[in-house]
């Protein structure tokens, strides 16, 4: 199978529309026992996290390990991580769409979904970090436009709205198809699905003028979502960079965060590709070619990220100014050195070495590399947030020794795990209601492949005729 | 029967131990009193209750039960009962007709009593009521503030009190500011303290300010205050824009507002345009169906 597709073709041209649709919709037609057990487990984790959060709300932030020194701990690290992986949709979908990379078609929805779910919970993490979550409205009522926190709220709301639209727009033709198909097939939650597909299809009939309008809005959205995504992570970096603290007082934090976001986001998309390819038997669509190309994308981004990483640490380390020096010593050889060096080698050097080779860009190797990158990206956010808070310019006087150390406690771990499980719940439910591939785009991709094949055959045929003519001429001349 | 007896004895023992334990757990208490008389002649007494558990330091005790008593000859007359606030404080405005002794002193006793948390304690205060008046002449170019201290005699007449330290202050927004480096003057035989008010102290937009003359924490008179307004201050014109638009100000600069409005307005208007187009897609369903 891979022999036919790899290395030139992205989607097998011989697949009919009906087969593509059938393969895409099949997982949405049944709810197996394993799905129910999986969702049950996820809801248990989520429920436990919810209990921990209610405990935190009732008894205050004192129930967490956060104190006056570290007031942004695991929650804000996870927030930055989630916002980072939300860039996957922008990169894979918008950038590849705008550069007309046809190979993106089977994986765009996975990428857009990752963006949507990570923003759902990324946006919640700062609210969870508040002792009085009910006061979040004060940020809007009394907030100052000059505050990076205010920009953050504006950017995330704008990006979340845009990403939701960006996920929904390519779904419209598919929703129309599924709405019509529901009249002939039987499926769990049929009534609800009927209402859902009808609502989301917004009266899609596939007429010429509807296609024209949809293409127009998708083009606009594709152009807009890229600067919005870049601005979001730049603004997230401003929360740190506009605060006068060692380690955060950096001018390259904006591009550093954006590069780190794109790199970790792409890695998470690859992991999602591996999982859905295996679970939903999408090997025909998500091919070795896709992994090879995504591997190249992640490799390029890792190199850019590595370069910025070098700038971020090497330049201050060369000067070792007093306040930065304490922090850097802690990172290079102190209490955070193990995590720091594991991050540098495991998520930068190791992926570069592996992905340089074609065999390192196969699904198996990429899975290992991307797990390293995803976990490393999370740890890296922790290393950006926590050690800096433990090294303020002016140490706080007369505080217990324990306040100058930080490790998240059970409340923080439970709530954070609930956020992760919440993400997976949404992805699982989404995959049970909607096709994980954009069907019309994959069909379109198959048509492109078909026309390419026909054109190629024509060229080959013409070359054969020319060759025959030339031989005939030569034979005549010799004769 | 035997079992019942044992149960009763055990219960009684437990109860007794519980009560004893509860009593043993009561915190030590102490009181600090202060008296003040304001310009309108109202008199207040403030009590600060401090509590201390064994092995700990004294700290303000909230919700302590406090009783205020006036000394009438050898008896104590209850004035009021209250509880201390979160900072351990309780204040009482004293009645005008406080009983006086032969030397014209009034006595106040404050007690922490009948409290489940704190042990009983009491503190007494014996003070004399004096009048402090402050005179300022707004037209006086020499700017002299004159404070007079008098007390009431047996005959009901006013008698000057000498050698009482009077401090002069200017009322500011968040407190009182000494009017000069050396702002204390003692009263003479006539009970008068004369203070030369310095120039250059900022007033309000009309140059007005409030001047205070105070007897502070005097052993015989407590704290007595008298204040008066005058226009001796430097006129401070109202700034048209005391808080200009700035990054650190309450209002953002126009440049920032315009930039952010253009950026976010541009994105959101595109969203609105898209919504409009999607609405058209929805409408076209009917057209297609009808055709």
What does B79-148 look like in DSSP terms, one character per residue? EEEEE--TTSEEEEEPPSS----TTSEEEEEEEE-S-SSB--EEEEEEEE-EEEEEEE-TT-TT-EEEEE
Look at residue A427 and tell me whether its pLDDT is greater than 70.
yes
When CB atoms are compared, the residue of A146, A203, A217 closest to B277 is A217
When CB atoms are compared, the residue of B247, B263, B288 closest to A205 is B288
Q: How many CB atoms lie within 10 A of CB A137?
A: 9
For chain A, count helices (H), then strands (E). 21, 0
Which residues touch B16 (CB under 8 Å, ≥6 apart)?
none
- Domain extent, residue B76, equals 26-128
Task: Give the residue from B215, B230, B245 where a domain finishes.
Answer: B230
Shared-domain flag, residues B141 and B105: no
Helices A363-389 and A74-85 meet at what angle, rounded to 10?
A: 140
Task: Give the residue from B73, B99, B128 where a domain finishes.
Answer: B128
For chain B, count helices (H), then strands (E). 2, 17
Q: Tell the residue number behind the tokens 């942004």, with chain if given.
A: A72
Nearest to A29 by CA among A186, A171, A172, A181: A186
Shared-domain flag, residues B124 and B160: no
Query: Collapsing DSSP states into helix, strand and coil, what is residue A376?
Result: helix
Task: Considering only residues A61 and A463, tell me which one the structure prediction assigns the higher pLDDT.
Answer: A61
Mean pLDDT, rounded, of chain A: 88
Number of compact structural domains in chain B: 2
- Position B13 in a domain: no
What local confidence, expressed as pLDDT, does residue A246 receive?
87
- Position B249 in a domain: no
Nearest to A288 by CA among A117, A37, A451, A103: A103
- Position B62 in a domain: yes
Q: What is the pLDDT of residues B230-246, one digit of tens each?
A: 999 999 998 888 888 98
Kindly list the residues of chain A whose beta carbon comes within 8 Å of any beta carbon in chain B. Answer: 144-146, 151, 154, 158, 161-162, 165, 172, 202-205, 207, 209-210, 213-214, 216-217, 220-221, 224, 228, 231
Which residues touch A375 (CB under 8 Å, ≥6 apart)?
A347
Task: Give the residue from B178, B198, B230 where a domain finishes.
Answer: B230
Chain B residues with beta carbon closer than 8 angstroms to that of A172? 281
Q: Domain ranges in chain A?
A: 2-396+409-478
What local confidence, expressed as pLDDT, does residue B97 receive?
84
Domain holding B101: CATH number? 2.60.40.10
Can you tell me the distance from the alpha carbon of B226 to that of A9, in angstroms, rounded to the nearest whole number?
96
A210 neighbors B281 (Cβ within 8 angstroms): yes
Chain B residues with beta carbon closer than 8 angstroms to that of A205? 284-285, 288-289
Q: How far is A148 from chain B (nearest CA, A)?
A: 11
Can you tell me the distance from the alpha carbon of A335 to that of A403, in angstroms, rounded to the nearest whole number?
15
Domain holding B143: CATH number? 2.60.40
When CB atoms are compared, the residue of B250, B267, B282 closest to A158 is B267
Q: Tell the residue number behind the tokens 């050889």, with chain if given.
A: A333
- Position B201 in a domain: yes
Q: What is the pLDDT of residues B58-85, one digit of tens each?
A: 889 999 999 999 998 888 999 999 999 9
Confidence of residue A2 (pLDDT cuts 50, 70, 90): very low
Q: How far is B60 from chain A (nearest CA, A)?
A: 21
When CB atoms are compared, the residue of A146, A207, A216 closest to B277 is A216
What local confidence, expressed as pLDDT, does residue A398 receive?
77
Q: How many CB atoms lie within 10 A of CB B243?
A: 10
Confidence of residue B212 (pLDDT cuts 50, 70, 90): very high
ipTM of model:
0.85
Q: How many CB atoms lie within 10 A of CB B193?
A: 25
Kindly list the residues of chain B whose beta carbon comes within 8 Å of any beta carbon in chain A. Answer: 247-250, 252, 256-257, 260, 263-264, 267-268, 270-271, 273-274, 277-278, 280-286, 288-289
Superfamily per CATH, domain A2-396+409-478: Formate dehydrogenase/DMSO reductase domain (1.20.1630.10)
Look at residue A272 and tell me whether its pLDDT is greater than 80.
yes
Structure tokens at B179: 């009017």
- Position B266 in a domain: no
- CB spacing of A145 vs B257 below 8 angstroms: yes
Can you tell me the distance from the alpha carbon of A230 to that of A232, in angstroms, rounded to the nearest whole number?
5
Can you tell me the distance from the alpha carbon of A186 to that of A166, in angstroms, rounded to the nearest whole number?
30
Chain A residues with beta carbon closer than 8 angstroms to that of B252? 144-146
- Position B281 in a domain: no
Interface mutation vs chain B, best among A145, A156, A231, A242, most B CBs within 10 Å:
A145
Confidence of residue A95 (pLDDT cuts 50, 70, 90): confident
What local confidence, expressed as pLDDT, does residue A268 receive?
93
What local confidence, expressed as pLDDT, does residue B12 receive?
67
When CB atoms are compared, the residue of A144, A158, A203 closest to B282 is A203
Shared-domain flag, residues B154 and B117: no
Chain A residues with beta carbon closer than 8 angstroms to that of B278? 202, 213, 217
Shared-domain flag, residues B102 and B173: no
- CB spacing of A146 vs B277 below 8 angstroms: no
Interface mutation vs chain A, best among B249, B280, B284, most A CBs within 10 Å:
B284
Which residues touch B39 (CB under 8 Å, ≥6 apart)?
B225, B226, B227
Report the pLDDT averaged over residues A278-304.
91
Can you tell me the distance from the alpha carbon of A344 to that of A380, in angstroms, rounded to the nearest whole number?
9
Backbone angles phi, psi at B110, to 5 degrees: -120, 135
A91 neighbors A266 (Cβ within 8 angstroms): yes
> From A228, which residue of chain B is nearest by alpha-carbon distance?
B267
A68 neighbors A403 (Cβ within 8 angstroms): yes
A263 neighbors A373 (Cβ within 8 angstroms): yes
Q: What is the pLDDT of residues B244-288, one digit of tens each?
A: 898 888 889 999 999 999 999 999 999 999 999 999 998 887 665
Confidence of residue A1 (pLDDT cuts 50, 70, 90): very low
- Position B188 in a domain: yes
Span of A14-18, A69-73, A398-402, B234-238 with lowest mean pLDDT:
A14-18
């Amino acid at each position: 199978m891979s022999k036919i597709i790899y290395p030139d073709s992205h989607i097998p041209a011989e697949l009919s529309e009906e087969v593509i649709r059938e393969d895409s919709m099949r997982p949405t037609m049944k709810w197996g026992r394993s799905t129910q057990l999986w969702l049950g487990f996820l809801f248990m984790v989520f429920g436990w996290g919810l209990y921990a959060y209610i405990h935190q709300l009732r008894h205050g932030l004192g129930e967490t390990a956060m104190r006056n020194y570290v007031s942004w701990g695991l929650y804000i690290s996870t927030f930055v991580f989630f916002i980072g992986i939300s860039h996957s949709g922008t990169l894979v979908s918008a950038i590849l769409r705008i550069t007309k990379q046809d190979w993106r078609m089977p994986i765009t929805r996975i990428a857009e979904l990752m963006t949507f779910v990570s923003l759902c919970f990324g946006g919640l993490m700062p609210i969870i970090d508040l002792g009085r979550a009910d006061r979040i409205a004060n940020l809007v009522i009394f907030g100052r436009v000059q505050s990076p926190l205010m920009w953050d709220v504006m950017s995330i709301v704008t990006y979340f709205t845009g990403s939701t639209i960006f996920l929904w727009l390519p779904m419209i033709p598919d929703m129309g198809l599924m709405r019509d198909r529901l009249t002939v097939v039987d499926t769990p939650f049929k009534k609800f699905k009927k209402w859902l597909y009808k609502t989301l299809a917004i009266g899609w009939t596939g007429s010429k003028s509807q296609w024209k309008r949809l293409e127009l809005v998708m083009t606009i959205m594709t152009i807009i979502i890229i600067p919005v995504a870049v601005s979001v992570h730049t603004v997230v970096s401003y929360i740190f960079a506009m605060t006068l603290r060692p380690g955060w007082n950096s001018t390259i934090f904006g591009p550093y965060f954006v590069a780190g976001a794109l790199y970790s986001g792409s890695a998470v998309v690859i992991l999602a590709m591996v999982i859905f390819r295996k679970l939903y038997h999408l090997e025909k669509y998500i091919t070795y070619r896709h992994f090879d190309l995504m591997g190249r994308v992640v490799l390029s981004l890792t190199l850019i990220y590595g370069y910025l990483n070098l700038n971020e640490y090497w330049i201050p380390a060369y000067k070792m100014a007093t306040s930065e020096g304490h922090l850097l010593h802690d990172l290079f050889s102190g209490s955070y050195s193990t995590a720091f060096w594991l991050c540098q080698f495991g998520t930068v050097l190791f992926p570069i070495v592996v992905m340089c080779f074609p065999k390192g860009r196969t699904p198996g190797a990429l899975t290992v590399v991307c797990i390293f990158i995803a976990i490393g990206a999370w740890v890296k956010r922790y290393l950006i947030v926590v050690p800096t808070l433990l090294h303020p310019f002016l140490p706080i006087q007369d505080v217990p020794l324990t306040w100058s150390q930080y490790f998240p406690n059970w409340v923080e771990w439970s709530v954070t795990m609930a956020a992760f499980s919440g993400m997976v719940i949404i992805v699982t439910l989404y995959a049970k209601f909607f096709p994980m591939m954009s069907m019309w785009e994959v069909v379109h991709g198959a048509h492109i492949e078909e026309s390419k094949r026909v054109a190629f055959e024509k060229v080959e045929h013409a070359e054969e005729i020319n060759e025959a003519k030339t031989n005939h001429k030569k034979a005549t001349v010799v004769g | 029967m035997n079992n019942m007896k044992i149960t009763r004895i055990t219960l009684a023992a437990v109860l007794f131990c519980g009560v004893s334990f509860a009593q043993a757990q009561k915190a030590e208490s102490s009181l600090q009193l202060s008296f003040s008389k304001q310009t309108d002649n109202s008199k207040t007494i403030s009590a600060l209750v401090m509590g201390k558990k064994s092995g700990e330091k004294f700290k303000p005790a909230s919700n302590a039960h406090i009783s205020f008593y006036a000394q009438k000859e050898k008896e104590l007359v209850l004035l009021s009962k209250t509880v201390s606030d979160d900072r351990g404080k309780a204040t009482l405005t004293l009645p005008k007709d406080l009983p006086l002794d032969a030397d014209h002193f009034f006595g106040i006793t404050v007690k922490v009593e009948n409290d489940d948390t704190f042990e009983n304690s009491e503190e007494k205060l014996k003070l004399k009521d004096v009048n402090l008046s402050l005179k300022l002449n707004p037209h006086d170019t020499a700017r002299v503030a004159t404070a007079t201290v008098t007390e009431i005699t047996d005959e009901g007449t006013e008698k000057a009190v000498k050698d009482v330290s009077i401090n002069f202050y200017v009322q500011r927004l968040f407190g009182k500011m000494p009017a000069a480096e050396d702002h204390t003057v003692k009263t003479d035989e006539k009970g008068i303290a004369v203070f030369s008010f310095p120039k250059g102290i900022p007033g309000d937009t009309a140059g007005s300010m409030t001047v205070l003359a105070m007897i502070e924490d005097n052993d015989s008179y407590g704290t007595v205050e008298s204040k008066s307004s005058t226009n001796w201050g430097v006129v401070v014109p109202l700034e048209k824009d005391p808080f200009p638009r700035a990054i650190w100000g309450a209002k953002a600069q126009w440049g920032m507002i315009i930039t952010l409005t253009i950026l976010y307005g541009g994105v959101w208007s595109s969203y609105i345009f898209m919504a409009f187009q999607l609405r058209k897609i929805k409408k076209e369903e009917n057209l297609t169906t009808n055709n």
